[in-house]
Homo-oligomer: A and B are copies of this chain.
Amino acid sequence: MSIAAQIPSRFTLTVKDVATTAGVAPSAVRFYEQHGVITAHRTAGDQRRFDESAACRIKVAKVAQRVGLTVREIADVFVTLPDDPEPQDWQRVAAVLIDEAETRTAALQAYLDEMLSGARLCEIDNRIEVPD
């Protein structure tokens, strides 16, 4: 009967639904779809329909962006999620994201440590007396 019967039944949410739930603008929802962070089915009238995971993916993406991941990188991680992910799939994705964040923080820490201990970097300890 309903048009939506032609696509998997869990794809029922409109752009606005997802935008509201995720706390972003509708334009951002379209943007994230264009860039592979979320996936949409189309109705017979060519309108996007999302499942429940869309808002979640966006919310995760926003937090992941704060640790320096690009939209592309986030999409690359999400693409490993099956169509209808199980908790274990999300756990794997979570582990990948956290690992990447920690790797980057470790790189920062390592660079700062090197700078502060090695101390030949920067002007630090360039305090040797120079003859007049």
Chain A residues in the interface with B (C-beta under 8 A): 10, 51-53, 55-57, 59-60, 63-69, 84-87, 90-91, 94, 97-98, 101-102, 104-105, 107-109, 111-112, 115-116, 119, 121-126
| Number of this chain's copies in the complex | 2
Checking B57, B59, B125 against A87 with a beta-carbon cut-off of 8 angstroms, the contacting residue is B125
Across the interface, name the chain B residue whose C-beta is closest to A101: B105
Across the interface, name the chain B residue whose C-beta is closest to A21: B121
Checking B53, B66, B111 against A60 with a beta-carbon cut-off of 8 angstroms, the contacting residue is B111
| Inter-chain contact B56/A87, CB cutoff 8 Å | no
Q: Is the interface of A mostly helix, strand, loop or mixed?
A: helix
Checking B60, B104, B123 against A84 with a beta-carbon cut-off of 8 angstroms, the contacting residue is B123
| Inter-chain contact A94/B116, CB cutoff 8 Å | yes
Across the interface, name the chain B residue whose C-beta is closest to A95: B112
| 13 pairs of residues in contact across A and B, judged by CB atoms under 8 Å | A51-B123, A52-B123, A55-B122, A56-B115, A60-B115, A66-B108, A67-B105, A68-B69, A85-B124, A87-B125, A94-B115, A94-B116, A97-B108
Residues of chain B within 8 A of A126, CB atoms compared: 10, 52
